[in-house]
Structure 1
Amino acid sequence: MVKRLLLVVLAVLCLATQVVAQDAAAPTDAETTAPGPAEEVVLGPMQDVLQSVADLIAESSRRTIQPAIDAVAGSGLDTVPFVLETWQARDMWQRTSDGLFFKAVKSGDTYELTDFDTGEVVATVTKDEIDQIKPNSGIQGLIGSALVAFQLNDPDPAKRRAALASLERNASADLLAVLRASIETEEDPDIKARKERLEKLITITYGTDPANRIAAIEAVSGDLDVSVRGALNPLVATRIMAFDGDVPEDVNVARELRPGTEALSREDAYALTDGEPFLTDADLRNLLQANIVDGAVGGVPVSELSDPERRVAAFDALEAAGTVPPAATEEDVDAALDGMTFASVYAEPNAEVTEAARAALTAIETKVGLNQTLDLGLDALSLASIYFLAAIGLAITFGVMGVINMAHGEFIMMGAYTGYVVQQIVPNHTASILLAIPLAFAVTFAAGVAMERLVIRFLYNRPLETLLATFGISIALQQLAKNIFGTQARPLTSPDWLGGAWTLNDVVSISTVRIAIFVLALIFLAVFLFIMKRTRLGLETRAVTQNRGMASAMGINPERVNMLTFGLGSGIAGIAGVAIGLYAQVTSEIGQAYIVQSFMTVVVGGVGNIWGTLLGAGLIGILQKGIEWFNPSNTLAAQTYMIIFIIIFIQFRPRGIIALKGRAAGD
């Protein structure tokens, strides 16, 4: 009974197992709608193109990649720019399971695959399931060149500009027609002008019609951009060639050359004949001497080697015996050069194109020379404004008051350090500079007043003692600055709006900070003239300068006038220090770099005359820049020559460019 019951249970269990197995094997509704692994994947047209060159893309070799790029770019599909941009940006990946290419974007720990044909995300995979395509910089450049043809007409102006930049770096003749076609539909005037200019440059280099090339050359004649010269220079480049007989008529010859001249030595001419290595007479003697055997060389006695013909015979014997390698002697060279014609030949075969390029380069060189002169003039004007700003205070203390203040440079230093201290407190550079200018005037004005009250007022009309006293004060102030700020240079940072440059073209440019200093110099010229001509202080200063006793009798306090005048000159020097510190390193010796030029500016211009100081600064600035232009590697020599010129100038015009007239001139 028990056995029968067990058999029934086992039968039921077997039947249940078979039913479960059949249910598990039956497909569900969801499974019948999903593609199975054996189902064929339908490729889009771009994916089909990529698969045709899949091996080349995966290899990523610059030597073999071009056919793959051409296949994608030449497919004519709308998705070409998308594929090339993805490929260039290293965002193209290949799925290892089926070899298909996608754009992959990382999303957390997985990657979303975007189909190149539909532009839709079609799968999400892990990094282990895909391989990144990594084009090197060379391949990226080739892709960029192919991409240019599509980007030139892109609706986005930024992409069109990027395409032009890429084309400027890697121009090719294949894109010339595309570039010309894009010009007609270009609506942005700036981009259109850039396209037209680039079209001319590419036409010059890669054009096939000489007339078009000449027209393009004439269109850019006088353009100072370096890219223009870069396109024209290869057209006039030459190389020396040798011809057996006369030069063929179809060769564009610059000039014929004669061997043995400075332009072409005999050795260089012989090297063009592809003959055996040349053996000079000295080399021949050394070679024969090294092969003397039993008093003879190649069967020729040593006593006969003084004869050139016998030396050649000895060498021929050594050469025939294989003792020495074959070489050409002087006689062999003469024989090889006989009947040969040597010429400097243009790399450009068309003579008319070459002539047009030469004329354009000549026009450019002339324009470059004129612009270099203008640039040199702007530099000289900028330097003159700096000297004038540094000397305008000295024009008051020395030119008007007659005080030789050797510490004037230290007032410039004090102004520069004042600007530095203000910038440490006020981080905003614009606000700090605007605050530093009046504060530097106040500090150096106070220092000048103190110096006049404590030292200078006891030394009027005693120039030697004044010079020695102020020189000592100069040394003391320098040491004091070193003790406070140290010997390390301190930066005085200019605001961002002064950090650029005004650029007229590729030759002429001047920094914004120098323009600001020039404007500041003009402002203080106007301020000085206003003070001296329109204020009571200026009237009293001129009165005391011309006749101290008469001014005192008229109720003017000469002591007070001298104090304020000296303080004014010192204060202006402080402002000059702030301006100079914007482009020069602030150190304790910053003022010493300008004290000599300041005195020369005042003396050359005419002592006591502000217009003379202005002209003196201009003369010294032009002179120094001119000398530096002739001798740019030695600025010390330029300063030496400048001082010599000033000494000679003073011999012929001791009172300066504008001499004082009237009673003050005789003091």
Structure 2
Amino acid sequence: MRILLAALSFLYLFGLPAAAQETPIQALLQEQRDLIEQSSRRTIGPAIDALAESGLPAAQEVLERWQDKALWQRESDGRFFFGEEVDRDTLRLIEIGSGEALGEVPDDGYDQLRPNSGIRAMIGAALVRFQLNDPDPATRAEALDSIARDGEAAHLAALRDSIAGEADPALKARKERLERLLTISFDPDSAARVAAIQSFAGDLGVDARAALNPLVATTRVVVAGQPPEDENIARVLAPGSEALPAQEAYALLVEAGLAPPRLGRGDIRAALAAHVENGRVGGVPVAALDSDAARDRAYAALAEAGRVPAAATAAEVEAALAAHSFYDRYAAPDPAVTDAANAALEAIRLKVGLNQAADLTLDALSLASIYFLAAIGLAVTFGVMGVINMAHGEFIMMGAYTGYVVQQLVPDYTLSILIALPLAFAITFGAGVAMERLVIRWLYNRPLETLLATFGISIALQQLAKNIFGTQARPLTSPDWLDGALVINDVVSISYIRIAIFVLALVFLALFLFIMRRTRLGLEVRAVTQNPRMAASMGINPERINMFAFGLGSGIAGVAGVAIGLYAKVTSELGQDYIVQSFMTVVVGGVGNIWGTLLGAALIGFLQKGIEWLNPSNTLAAQTYMILFIILFIQFRPRGIIALRGRAAGD
């Protein structure tokens, strides 16, 4: 059966005239046959280039099959085929170019092309040309991703050739940027590298710094005499300076084998004690070993006799350091390249610093908006009523849990948030009115009792939340359109949730100002705040205004709770994380003044972020420093940034 199969295959393969079986790609392979058969990395390049540049439709498949070791050559005439091993002794052949199946044959008359890793890498670089010019934009993008991850010198020419014909503007921009990055790393032309480096001056991309930093990396070198003139030296180091302590310099000499090790005095004493013979050590009487110089002479005699390792004396150390030069050598040998890289990196560092400041400012504004939302309700109750409400944080917690419950009932996260915001306001408004009617109204002008009562209510509300929802943190999921962040560049970014909170804070600021400045209710609130007795004499009911003000402040706290819960886990202790900052915001800004609250939130937000930037590893220290600063601030301005005239100001 095997003989019959071989005969049929022979007749099939050789029964047709050679011209009928010849294809353009086969003809090209035959032209490069000698180089392919040699299969040497040093000589195979022209054959691979000929295939890649041929423009033949089958060239890409040939390179791919060759790389995958699926290219076979017939021994009798040197023709090439695609081959698939059916079993250990049988091969299924496919005609190159036409893709025609030629049947199964014994594999003993065929040689498999087995490119080594070096040749496979060269083939891979050639295949990049096809991928970079593929009609599918996704394939071209994948090729660019691959080059960006692991670029090679062989990719540079293919990338340059593909730029002119790129129709997609975004992909063309990526190709041009990647070409400049590869030029920096692999182009042998110094002028081209310098031009590419200069184009990245001030660029914030991480890929630019990744390409530039290796050029200015240094290696510390020590040589006898003066530094060589043909090396690209970053700086010459003087032994004993701050940059190169003498001990470190001598260690470099020892490591390079240019000087013997220097032993400590304790090591020398131990070695001498171990070699005492007849009252002498190295020919020196033990009684005479009363100085470092004498001990050095004795140790040197032992070293000369080969009884101990050679060790340098202090004088020899100084002489060795003086006889050698120490310097840092750039990794890139071309001074023009390293000078351009240093200049570009300096410009990048300056721009990165400015953008880090902008990023820190955005973080501070975001934090200030959160504190403003948390404190605006407290500013209302504290400013209008003079009530220190220690349960204000629990109203924030109630708002967050309201959002969580709504999301359990309404799976659509966008709709659930839209429902939760007014519902949280309504629930906490009602809770605030109830608290004012049942407790606060009986404790006016008794600040200590009010503080203790609201603190007790705070504990009770926390325990009630634990009994209902448990101690496990509950998620308040943001809608999909709030996922991710607004990325301005590789340094500056801000999450969409924080942007939404910032916008919400501005909305509440505008709404509060409208109510207070454009409505009769706001006029009455301002009247009661400034002079409650005069307001009562004008027909205004201060108790009703107090009730409304407390409810309004509590309702705003509930809305703040929904916003805060979008990025913080909802727990019964959520409010405690913001009550201290809320009080500080109100006190620093000025009790009862909305603009003062806004300024106080900004001051505390910027202060906290600034301290965290200076001491990023210790957030507790940042909180402590911030509180100390606030205490010091109040000593000089006890009424806050904007002092309020009226009852809350003590008038």
TM-score normalised by the chain length of structure 1: 0.83
Correspondence 1:346 to 2:323: no
**Pick from 137, 141, 144: which aligns with 1:157?**
137
- Residue pair 1:385, 1:521 contacting (<8 A) in 2 also: yes
String of CA shifts for 1:253-310, please: whole Å, max 9, x gaps. 2222222333233423423652354132433333333333443334433333345454
The structural deviation recorded for 1:564 is 2.1
RMSD across aligned positions (CA): 3.8
**Pick from 245, 262, 270: which aligns with 1:279?**
262
Correspondence 1:251 to 2:227: no
- Residue pair 1:144, 1:166 contacting (<8 A) in 2 also: no
One-letter code aligned to 1:628: E
| Whole-Å separation in 2 of the counterparts to 1:549 and 1:257 | 80
**Pick from 247, 253, 275: which aligns with 1:291?**
275
- For 1:369-380, list aligned pairs within 5 A: 369-380=353-364
The structural deviation recorded for 1:168 is 1.7
**Pick from 590, 609, 622: which aligns with 2:574?**
590
Residues 593-602 or 294-303, more deviating: 294-303
Correspondence 1:636 to 2:620: yes
- For 1:225-244, list aligned pairs within 5 A: 225-244=205-224
The structural deviation recorded for 1:191 is 1.8
Task: Give the aligned partner of residue 270 of structure 1.
Answer: 253
Q: 1:308 to 1:651 in 2, by over 3 A?
A: closer
Q: Aligned residues, how many?
A: 622
Q: 1:305 to 1:481 in 2, by over 3 A?
A: same
| Whole-Å separation in 2 of the counterparts to 1:69 and 1:414 | 72
SS at match of 2:164: helix
Residues 597-606 or 135-144, more deviating: 135-144
| Whole-Å separation in 2 of the counterparts to 1:173 and 1:629 | 41
**Pick from 139, 142, 147: which aligns with 2:127?**
147
Task: Give the aligned partner of residue 189 of structure 1.
Answer: 169
| Whole-Å separation in 2 of the counterparts to 1:141 and 1:628 | 48
- Residue pair 2:128, 2:158 contacting (<8 A) in 1 also: no
One-letter code aligned to 1:211: A
One-letter code aligned to 1:222: G
The structural deviation recorded for 1:158 is 1.9
Residues 621-630 or 271-280, more deviating: 271-280
| Whole-Å separation in 2 of the counterparts to 1:545 and 1:222 | 54
| Whole-Å separation in 2 of the counterparts to 1:370 and 1:436 | 39
The structural deviation recorded for 1:442 is 1.4
Task: Give the aligned partner of residue 159 of structure 2.
Answer: 179
- Residue pair 2:384, 2:648 contacting (<8 A) in 1 also: no
| Whole-Å separation in 1 of the counterparts to 2:92 and 2:570 | 58
| Whole-Å separation in 1 of the counterparts to 2:222 and 2:156 | 35
| Whole-Å separation in 2 of the counterparts to 1:133 and 1:584 | 61
Task: Give the aligned partner of residue 183 of structure 2.
Answer: 203
Q: 1:558 to 1:75 in 2, by over 3 A?
A: same
- Residue pair 2:364, 2:609 contacting (<8 A) in 1 also: yes
**Pick from 638, 643, 646: which aligns with 2:630?**
646
SS at match of 2:643: coil
The structural deviation recorded for 1:231 is 1.7
- Residue pair 1:372, 1:508 contacting (<8 A) in 2 also: yes
Task: Give the aligned partner of residue 197 of structure 2.
Answer: 217
Residues 42-51 or 395-404, more deviating: 42-51
SS at match of 2:223: strand
Residues 93-102 or 175-184, more deviating: 93-102
Q: 1:392 to 1:55 in 2, by over 3 A?
A: farther
Task: Give the share of equivalent positions with the same residue, in percent.
Answer: 63
Task: Give the aligned partner of residue 20 of structure 1.
Answer: none
SS at match of 2:376: helix
| Whole-Å separation in 2 of the counterparts to 1:443 and 1:250 | 79
- Residue pair 1:46, 1:116 contacting (<8 A) in 2 also: no
String of CA shifts for 1:124-143, please: whole Å, max 9, x gaps. 99xxxxxx999999998776
Correspondence 1:469 to 2:453: yes
Task: Give the aligned partner of residue 442 of structure 1.
Answer: 426
Task: Give the aligned partner of residue 611 of structure 1.
Answer: 595
TM-score normalised by the chain length of structure 2: 0.85
The structural deviation recorded for 1:199 is 1.9
The structural deviation recorded for 1:93 is 5.4
Correspondence 1:82 to 2:57: no
Q: 1:208 to 1:628 in 2, by over 3 A?
A: same
SS at match of 1:654: coil
| Whole-Å separation in 2 of the counterparts to 1:537 and 1:121 | 90
String of CA shifts for 1:146-198, please: whole Å, max 9, x gaps. 42233222222222222222222222333323322322222222222222222
The structural deviation recorded for 1:235 is 2.3
| Whole-Å separation in 2 of the counterparts to 1:105 and 1:417 | 65
| Whole-Å separation in 2 of the counterparts to 1:408 and 1:47 | 82
Correspondence 1:520 to 2:504: yes
The structural deviation recorded for 1:556 is 3.2
The structural deviation recorded for 1:382 is 0.2
One-letter code aligned to 1:255: R
One-letter code aligned to 1:268: A
Q: 1:549 to 1:333 in 2, by over 3 A?
A: closer
| Whole-Å separation in 1 of the counterparts to 2:554 and 2:630 | 25
- For 1:459-498, list aligned pairs within 5 A: 459-498=443-482
The structural deviation recorded for 1:373 is 0.6
| Whole-Å separation in 1 of the counterparts to 2:123 and 2:411 | 47
Q: 1:469 to 1:55 in 2, by over 3 A?
A: farther
The structural deviation recorded for 1:650 is 1.3
String of CA shifts for 1:22-65, please: whole Å, max 9, x gaps. xxxxx9xx999875599699794688789987998xxxxxxx99
SS at match of 2:476: coil
Residues 136-145 or 227-236, more deviating: 136-145
Task: Mark the runs of 5 or more structure 2 residues left unpaired by the alignment.
Answer: 106-111
**Pick from 434, 437, 440: which aligns with 1:453?**
437
Residues 172-181 or 161-170, more deviating: 172-181
SS at match of 2:51: coil
The structural deviation recorded for 1:96 is 13
Correspondence 1:368 to 2:324: no
SS at match of 1:377: helix
The structural deviation recorded for 1:422 is 1.3
| Whole-Å separation in 2 of the counterparts to 1:287 and 1:622 | 63
| Whole-Å separation in 2 of the counterparts to 1:534 and 1:175 | 68
| Whole-Å separation in 2 of the counterparts to 1:473 and 1:113 | 86
SS at match of 2:235: strand
Task: Give the aligned partner of residue 129 of structure 1.
Answer: none
| Whole-Å separation in 1 of the counterparts to 2:60 and 2:73 | 24
- Residue pair 1:257, 1:263 contacting (<8 A) in 2 also: yes
SS at match of 1:75: helix
String of CA shifts for 1:493-539, please: whole Å, max 9, x gaps. 11111111011111111111000000010011111112222223222
| Whole-Å separation in 1 of the counterparts to 2:531 and 2:321 | 90
Higher-Rg member (1/2): 1
Q: 1:39 to 1:310 in 2, by over 3 A?
A: farther
Residues 69-78 or 332-341, more deviating: 69-78
The structural deviation recorded for 1:435 is 1.4
Q: 1:454 to 1:275 in 2, by over 3 A?
A: same
The structural deviation recorded for 1:329 is 4.6
Q: 1:75 to 1:317 in 2, by over 3 A?
A: farther
Residues 313-322 or 377-386, more deviating: 313-322
- Residue pair 1:145, 1:166 contacting (<8 A) in 2 also: no
